[in-house]
Amino acid sequence: MSGTSLVQWLRQEEAHVVPEWVRAMRSLANFDEQQLSTQELSQQIFLAFYDAFMQAAASGEYTVLDEMISSLVKNRVERDYAVEEILQVPLQLKTAIWRRLTSTLPPVESQSLMLEAEPLFDHSVVALVDTYTRLTRELLQERLAEAEFLTRRLTVTTEEVDRAVLQLRTLFSLSRALSATLDVDAILGLVVESLVGLSHVHRCAVWLRESDGNQLVLASASGVQSDRLRGIVIPLDQPDHVLCQAYLDRQVRIIERVDREVSLGADLSSFYQGCALLVVPLLSTGVAPLGIIAVDGLVGAQLFDASFISLVRSIAEQAAVALHNAQLYQEVTRFNQQLEQMVQERTAELEKANRDLEKLDRTKSDFISIAAHELKTPLTLIEGYTNILKEDALIAGQPHLQNMLRGILRGTGRLQQIIEDMIDVSLIDANVLTLHLIPTSVASIAGLVATDLAKAVRERKQTLVIEDSIGTLPYIEADTQRLHQVLLNIVSNAVKYTPDGGTITIWGRYLANKEDPSLDFVEVAVTDTGIGIDPEDQDRIFDKFYHTGNVGLHSSGKTKFKGGGPGLGLAIAKGVVEAHGGRIWVESEGHDEARFPGSTFHILLPVKAQPRCPDAIYEVSSAGLTIEDFNFYSTE
């Protein structure tokens, strides 16, 4: 191979150099790339980099190589790679080339070709560092801009919160003060002083209707030059007057800027000239308006926003109630005190009851876990000694003893399953259920479940149908054993509550996410023609130990009609499905042992497992799945 150029050698040895290079990079990559095969990883960006490297070696032009380096660095920076990790790309390529050179060419020729490639590696390293510096600088600038934006938003939000807190504090303080007096002047004084104390408010005045007249009289005022309002009377026979309109129409009036076009009368027009004005009627249920509250301030101060108007209306309502019901104050105060005491007592009782229930639930879970583990050892001994007796020569020839031993073994097997269920429930309660995720075929699991229950279905003269849609579902990341346990529990439940001769159907569909393919789901459903489930029980059946109907009327067989059980199967199914990041729910018209409306259990599982994913992302309505609600489209 004497006289081979660097480009020729690189092209000839590509099949050896690239895999070795990619394997080295794969061992240094993050978790996502470590899950890819060498071939998959090489096809992402490394083959393109190698081609650009050869092109630069052939032409001496670095444009394509620089573009490739820029793309590589951008990809790695977006995935939080450090510069040292990114530098491994050219360095590991250099190592792979040198190893191949020394194994295929004489030392002198190897050294010559390596020296020819050295400028390419030097350029790659320098370009990589420059690009990394530029991109990180740009990223930092973006972060700084975002921080500045968030700071401004935080400042505005803080001001709004401070204003809201001040308004709420004002409303709260005023409410307490109003409930502590029966004096009308004191009530009016509290109202005007509370509003004048708010920012941007210049003045506040309250006009009340005279009890024996048809005009509004100033009852209280506070603020800048409020004494100029003394003695002003507003006749109610002025339909264009803003204050009269608010009183007669029982509606809030907002004037952004008082000018000559606004009808307020000569005295009030000059007084409020150039100001923003808010007029709120004093309304009390069952009687005519008591008067109006007028608040003014500077134009453009954003005084009359929705929160401020709501505050003034609340104050007006409370003031009207206080004025109209002053004679009932003592009775209301006494009632409020009694009610507050009762609320506190009931709250304390509820808090104590909640603490007791939480303690009881923890105790129950601890008991389940301890009892299950303590029962497991003696049960194993019983099963072992029974098997020994079964093989004993003295017993082998006595059929009735053999039948008794087989009965013992069946009983121990059933008890063993109950104990395993209790252990599973304790693991789910403690959030320590471990999943072993592998690519799993839903169709295979459905077939295994059908095989497991074939005898029971045959004895009950039922029909178990697995629709073709199950076979079209993609492989999903799941714990195969746990998923088998879930489907077996659901189908066993369907067999149990479906009468003899009924039908159980397993079907499914693939739900692709329109916006994010990583959030694709499969839905597996089990539909039966059984007795159905009442709506009020459809959430509770997934609680451990819960049984519907009269437990005393249930039969003793596991798959017999309305057969008994510990009430753990659906609780375990729910825990396992949610541990995968999925959801399970049931739909049924109701319970009817004459009409048999049936039930459908839905199991929603992510194609790519996301254990314990936030509920906010995968919230599923117990009333049924609406694909549009989840940005899904069915591939059916």
Counted residue by residue, the chain has a size of 636
Please report the DSSP string for 517-540 in residue order.
GGG-EEEEEEEE-S----GGGTTG
Query: By three-state DSSP, how is residue 390 classified?
Result: helix
Mean pLDDT of the 488-497 span:
92
Yes or no: is domain 6-147 CATH 3.40.50.1860?
Answer: no
Mean pLDDT of the 285-296 span:
84
CATH 1.10.490.130 in the chain, residue ranges: 6-147
pLDDT at 476: 93
CATH pick for 184-324 out of 3.40.50.300, 3.40.640.10, 3.20.20.140, 3.30.450.40: 3.30.450.40
Residue 14 scores a pLDDT above 50: yes
- The CATH superfamily holding the domain 438-634 is Histidine kinase-like ATPase, C-terminal domain (3.30.565.10)
pLDDT at 632: 46
389-439 tens-digit pLDDT:
777 777 777 787 778 877 777 777 667 666 676 666 767 776 767 888 899
CATH 3.30.450.40 in the chain, residue ranges: 184-324
| CATH code assigned to 333-429 | 1.10.287
Among 53-67, 289-303, 332-346, 408-422, which is the least confidently predicted range?
408-422
Q: What is the percentage of the chain residues whose pLDDT exceeds 70?
A: 81
224-245 tens-digit pLDDT:
888 888 888 888 888 888 888 8
pLDDT at 287: 74
Task: Output DSSP code: residue 45.
Answer: I
Averaged pLDDT of the chain: 80
Encoded amino acid at 300, one letter: G
Most confident of 344-358, 545-559, 598-612: 598-612
Sorting pLDDT into bands at 50, 70 and 90, what band is 469?
very high
| Chain centre distance of CA 220 | 53
CA dist list (Å): 238 to 256, 258, 350: 21, 18, 57
pLDDT at 368: 58
Query: Which is it for strands 463-466 and 503-513: parallel, antiparallel or unpaired?
Result: parallel
Task: Write down the pTM of the prediction.
Answer: 0.41
Query: By three-state DSSP, how is residue 512 classified?
Result: strand
Sorting pLDDT into bands at 50, 70 and 90, what band is 369?
low
Most confident of 180-184, 200-204, 607-611: 200-204
Residue 316 scores a pLDDT above 50: yes
Sorting pLDDT into bands at 50, 70 and 90, what band is 621?
very low
pLDDT at 603: 94
CATH 3.30.565.10 in the chain, residue ranges: 438-634
Most confident of 84-93, 302-311, 407-416: 84-93
CATH 1.10.287 in the chain, residue ranges: 333-429
Tell me how far apart the alpha carbons of residues 412 and 406 are, in angstroms, rounded to a whole number. 10
